[in-house]
Amino acid sequence: MPVVRGKDIEVLFNASTIASRNLELAKEIAQRDYKDLLVVSVLKGSFIFAADLIRAMHDAGISPEVEFIMISSYGSGTTSGEVKMLRDIDNDVTDRDVLLVDDILESGKTLRFIRDLMLSRGARSVRNVVLLDKRMRRTSDINADHVGFDCPDYFVVGYGMDVAHAFRELPFVGVVKGDAV
Ligand code: IMP
Ligand code: MG
């Protein structure tokens, strides 16, 4: 088990498993009939996933534009809170196909909020791709269009995801054993 910051981390999805899944996701996305695709990466958690996925999308023959939106829903704890936009995208989404990229779909509040916002601004379509889906936690009416992996009901870290700002740099997705921080 890797030890980081003095904690044992149990690996759930390793780097090569994630990399091959990203290629499959990109091929899945390439099947859709997108005309003017705008990828919107939901910061901070999705930054590594989005970076890898858009390069896999290039390999799959898709050339999207990329934007970033920053949402806070967790603060520094591990329980879901209110959704707040900390940074908006810069581009107009009118008549565009929007693909939201997030690390985890849990309650669904975050993606529901952003989807409704993009639709209210006149986006032609709004779909999402998430690395991990915690279906058992869903409270909002939204589903993932593309899912990397179904996620067990653990608080996970790594590959962009943090607990109290730590562990984003891990090249794998894992669970911190013992007290997380
Ligand atoms: P939702 O709004 O409840 O769907 O929450 C989704 C957001 O919460 C994701 O974008 C993540 O940033 C964060 N999140 C949910 N579960 C975890 C986890 O296990 N580890 C790290 N972040 C998480
Ligand atoms: Mg997030």
Domain with 77, as residue range(s), is 3-176
- Is residue 181 assigned to a domain? no
- Is residue 109 assigned to a domain? yes
> Tens digit of pLDDT for each residue in 157-173?
999 999 999 999 999 99
DSSP per-residue string spanning 123-140: -SEEEEEEEEE-GGG--S
- Is residue 123 assigned to a domain? yes
**Substitution candidate for ligand 1 out of 84, 86, 100, 104 with most atoms within 8 A of CB:** 104
Please name which of 51, 122, 129, 62 lies closest in space to residue 92, comparing C-alpha atoms.
122
CA of 162 to the centre of ligand 2 (A): 9
175-179 average pLDDT score? 89
**Substitution candidate for ligand 1 out of 161, 169, 172, 176 with most atoms within 8 A of CB:** 161
CATH number at residue 119: 3.40.50.2020
C-beta 45 within 6 A of ligand 1: yes
Are the CB atoms for 161 and 17 separated by under 8 Å?
A: no
77 pLDDT more than 80: no
**Domain tally for the chain?**
1
State how far the Cα of 164 lies from the Cα of 59, in Å rounded to an integer: 34
User: Where residue 181 falls among pLDDT bands split at 50, 70, 90?
Assistant: low
Catalogue the E-assigned strands of 29-169.
Answer: 37-43, 65-72, 84-87, 97-105, 125-133, 146-150
Both tokens assigned to 100: 């939201």
CA of 63 to the centre of ligand 2 (A): 24
Global pTM reads 0.94
- Is residue 115 assigned to a domain? yes
- Is residue 24 assigned to a domain? yes
* Residue 96 three-state SS: coil
- Is residue 35 assigned to a domain? yes
- Is residue 80 assigned to a domain? yes
109 — phi, psi (to 5°)? Answer: -60, -45
> Tens digit of pLDDT for each residue in 27-76?
999 999 888 899 999 999 999 999 999 999 999 999 999 999 999 875 54
